[in-house]
Amino acid sequence: MKKWPIVMLAFSLLASATIFAQGSKKTIETGEFTAIGLGLPVTVYVTKGAHKVEVEGPAEAISKMEIKVKGKSLNIEHEENLRNWKGNGVTVYVTMPNISGLAIGGSGSIIVKDEFNEMGDLDLSIGGSGD
Protein backbone atom coordinates (compact mmCIF):
# COMPACT_ATOMS: atom_id res chain seq x y z
CA MET A 1 0.00 0.00 0.00
CA LYS A 2 2.83 2.42 0.71
CA LYS A 3 4.09 2.12 -2.86
CA TRP A 4 0.86 3.50 -4.32
CA PRO A 5 1.54 7.21 -3.46
CA ILE A 6 5.09 6.92 -4.83
CA VAL A 7 3.82 5.42 -8.09
CA MET A 8 1.22 8.19 -8.43
CA LEU A 9 3.83 10.87 -7.74
CA ALA A 10 6.18 9.40 -10.35
CA PHE A 11 3.37 9.23 -12.91
CA SER A 12 2.39 12.85 -12.23
CA LEU A 13 5.97 14.07 -12.65
CA LEU A 14 6.35 12.13 -15.90
CA ALA A 15 3.12 13.56 -17.29
CA SER A 16 4.17 17.10 -16.31
CA ALA A 17 7.58 16.70 -17.93
CA THR A 18 6.00 15.44 -21.14
CA ILE A 19 3.59 18.38 -21.34
CA PHE A 20 6.40 20.88 -20.61
CA ALA A 21 8.72 19.33 -23.22
CA GLN A 22 6.09 19.64 -25.94
CA GLY A 23 6.40 23.40 -25.86
CA SER A 24 4.06 25.82 -27.50
CA LYS A 25 2.82 27.02 -30.85
CA LYS A 26 2.83 30.67 -31.92
CA THR A 27 1.48 32.38 -35.03
CA ILE A 28 3.61 35.29 -36.25
CA GLU A 29 1.92 38.24 -37.96
CA THR A 30 3.83 39.31 -41.08
CA GLY A 31 3.40 41.32 -44.21
CA GLU A 32 3.86 39.88 -47.69
CA PHE A 33 7.16 38.24 -48.62
CA THR A 34 8.58 36.20 -51.50
CA ALA A 35 11.89 35.06 -49.99
CA ILE A 36 13.12 33.45 -46.77
CA GLY A 37 16.38 34.23 -44.95
CA LEU A 38 17.24 31.70 -42.24
CA GLY A 39 19.95 32.50 -39.71
CA LEU A 40 19.14 29.94 -37.01
CA PRO A 41 19.72 26.21 -36.45
CA VAL A 42 16.03 25.37 -36.92
CA THR A 43 14.01 23.50 -39.56
CA VAL A 44 11.66 25.50 -41.78
CA TYR A 45 8.90 23.76 -43.76
CA VAL A 46 7.51 25.73 -46.70
CA THR A 47 4.11 25.10 -48.26
CA LYS A 48 2.16 26.96 -50.93
CA GLY A 49 -0.78 29.16 -49.94
CA ALA A 50 -1.69 32.48 -48.35
CA HIS A 51 1.02 34.07 -46.18
CA LYS A 52 1.23 32.45 -42.75
CA VAL A 53 4.06 31.79 -40.27
CA GLU A 54 3.81 29.45 -37.29
CA VAL A 55 6.52 28.44 -34.83
CA GLU A 56 6.47 25.32 -32.63
CA GLY A 57 8.87 24.44 -29.85
CA PRO A 58 9.87 25.33 -26.32
CA ALA A 59 8.32 28.68 -25.32
CA GLU A 60 11.65 29.98 -24.00
CA ALA A 61 13.43 29.30 -27.32
CA ILE A 62 10.59 30.86 -29.33
CA SER A 63 10.73 33.99 -27.19
CA LYS A 64 14.38 34.54 -28.23
CA MET A 65 13.55 34.49 -31.96
CA GLU A 66 13.00 37.46 -34.27
CA ILE A 67 10.85 36.75 -37.30
CA LYS A 68 10.29 39.85 -39.42
CA VAL A 69 9.78 40.88 -43.02
CA LYS A 70 12.54 43.12 -44.36
CA GLY A 71 11.90 44.23 -47.91
CA LYS A 72 10.48 41.11 -49.57
CA SER A 73 12.31 38.62 -47.31
CA LEU A 74 11.00 36.83 -44.23
CA ASN A 75 14.03 36.83 -41.94
CA ILE A 76 14.23 34.20 -39.21
CA GLU A 77 16.89 35.18 -36.68
CA HIS A 78 17.56 35.40 -32.94
CA GLU A 79 17.47 38.47 -30.75
CA GLU A 80 20.34 40.90 -31.14
CA ASN A 81 23.33 40.27 -28.84
CA LEU A 82 22.26 36.67 -28.20
CA ARG A 83 25.13 34.21 -28.60
CA ASN A 84 25.20 30.40 -28.67
CA TRP A 85 21.47 30.12 -29.27
CA LYS A 86 20.45 26.58 -30.13
CA GLY A 87 17.21 25.70 -31.88
CA ASN A 88 16.34 23.10 -29.23
CA GLY A 89 13.51 21.52 -31.18
CA VAL A 90 12.06 24.65 -32.79
CA THR A 91 10.25 24.16 -36.09
CA VAL A 92 8.96 26.98 -38.31
CA TYR A 93 6.07 26.46 -40.75
CA VAL A 94 5.89 29.03 -43.55
CA THR A 95 3.07 29.26 -46.06
CA MET A 96 3.59 31.57 -49.02
CA PRO A 97 2.11 31.91 -52.54
CA ASN A 98 5.41 32.36 -54.44
CA ILE A 99 9.14 31.94 -53.83
CA SER A 100 11.83 34.19 -55.30
CA GLY A 101 14.68 33.27 -52.95
CA LEU A 102 15.89 31.04 -50.13
CA ALA A 103 18.99 31.83 -48.08
CA ILE A 104 20.53 29.88 -45.20
CA GLY A 105 23.29 31.31 -43.02
CA GLY A 106 24.31 28.64 -40.53
CA SER A 107 23.15 25.12 -39.84
CA GLY A 108 19.40 25.42 -40.39
CA SER A 109 17.29 23.59 -42.96
CA ILE A 110 14.60 24.79 -45.35
CA ILE A 111 12.35 22.06 -46.75
CA VAL A 112 9.94 23.04 -49.55
CA LYS A 113 7.03 20.60 -49.43
CA ASP A 114 4.90 21.83 -52.36
CA GLU A 115 5.55 22.62 -56.02
CA PHE A 116 5.75 26.30 -56.87
CA ASN A 117 4.99 26.50 -60.61
CA GLU A 118 5.48 29.62 -62.73
CA MET A 119 7.81 31.27 -60.25
CA GLY A 120 10.54 32.48 -62.59
CA ASP A 121 14.11 32.78 -61.33
CA LEU A 122 14.95 31.43 -57.89
CA ASP A 123 17.89 32.81 -55.90
CA LEU A 124 19.47 30.20 -53.61
CA SER A 125 22.24 30.78 -51.08
CA ILE A 126 23.79 28.59 -48.39
CA GLY A 127 26.54 29.92 -46.14
CA GLY A 128 27.36 27.25 -43.58
CA SER A 129 26.26 23.68 -43.08
CA GLY A 130 22.52 24.12 -43.74
CA ASP A 131 20.32 22.04 -46.06
Domain boundaries, the chain: 23-127
What pLDDT, on the 0 to 100 scale, is given for residue 86? 67
Q: Is 18 left (phi over 0), alpha (psi -120 to 50) or beta?
A: alpha
Question: Between 119 and 130, whose confidence is greater?
Answer: 119
pLDDT digit string, tens, across residues 25-80:
999 999 999 999 999 999 999 999 999 999 999 998 898 899 999 999 999 998 77
Provide the whole-model pTM. 0.78
CA 108, distance to chain mean position in Å, is: 9
Mean of pLDDT values over 67-94:
85
The CATH architecture one would assign to domain 23-127 is: 3 Solenoid (2.160)
**Side by side, which strands form the sheet with 24-28?**
24-28, 52-57, 91-96, 43-48, 109-112
One-letter amino acid at 64 equals K
Mean of pLDDT values over 100-113:
93
**CA-CA-CA-CA torsion for 104, 105, 107, 108, nearest 10 degrees?**
-40
